[in-house]
Amino acid sequence: MNKIDKVFEKLNSSKNKAIIPYLTGGDPDIDRTLKLMQFYAENGADIIEIGVPFSDPMADGPVIQAAMERALKAGTTLKSILNLVKRFRRNYDTPLVLMGYMNPFYAYGLERFCKDAKEAGVDGILTVDMPPEEAEEFVSYQRKYDLTPVFLVTPVTNEDRILKIKKYATSFVYFVSVTGVTGERVSLPADTEKKLIEIKKLINMPTVIGFGISSPEIIISFYDIADGFVIGSALVKRAERIWSSTENARDFENFFKSLAFACHKGRIA
């Protein structure tokens, strides 16, 4: 059983939910990314999702696009992110999922990337723009090196495609709550709960929800049906304010802790 499976097994036994903070690797630089990863690991993160910077992140809204631009401007590469993972692994065991686009992975070399990712300490790979119909080769390398392939499921993903995803996915799937890009939202669409229930019945594995998760209130509203929550733009935006010295770090820390409390306790602190 891999580390990600163990996370969901433990949470399921305690009826708690996974909190999965997202950050963009290299934003605003590698050293500060490492400090942020360490903070998350020390304050309740069950899995950490690291975005691989890409020049055309089509699924991401303005907040994460800006983070990727900052990371690329700082010279971040896929190799430097793997080195970042190695540094993190010296002291922390929190599972890590790399979230990125096929272009950088393909340019690196798919098998070489999987081998190097495993050696660095990566646990899973989410390829945003890889449809299940074209996933066989990349997934075969991920399985060869004991990496978890993670797939996105959207509100418009039909049953046939969900079953194709089920063929390749392991550990969990990531339900995108909206038909749009990443970003903070006050609430999620009215049919989100219905769609999430349908997907869970078909996929029969832990399902986390992301895109628009921005408050403990949203977490609580889906607590009974989701297995975890990915928080991206809400954290990236607040972290950027710290880097630019316009927000106190304590406010950011308290915000994350409030999200972790909601995930692990099922109530608002």
- Rounded CA separation 191/155 (Å): 9
Residue 53 DSSP label: P
**Cis before 155 (ω within 30):** no
- Rounded CA separation 169/43 (Å): 28
Active site residue 193: no
- Rounded CA separation 192/41 (Å): 29
Q: What DSSP string runs through 181-244?
A: -----SS--TTHHHHHHHHHHHH-S-EEEESS--SHHHHHHTTTT-SEEEE-HHHHHHHHHHHT
Are 171 and 205 a contacting pair, CB within 8 Å?
yes
Active site residue 60: yes
**Residue 209 forms beta bridges with which residues?**
175, 229
Tokens 């790399």 correspond to what residue? 98
User: In angstroms, what CA-CA distances link 159 with 9, 27, 104?
Assistant: 26, 37, 30
Catalytic residue among 46, 49, 184, 227: 49
Catalytic residue among 27, 46, 60, 123: 60
Residues with catalytic annotation? Answer: 49, 60
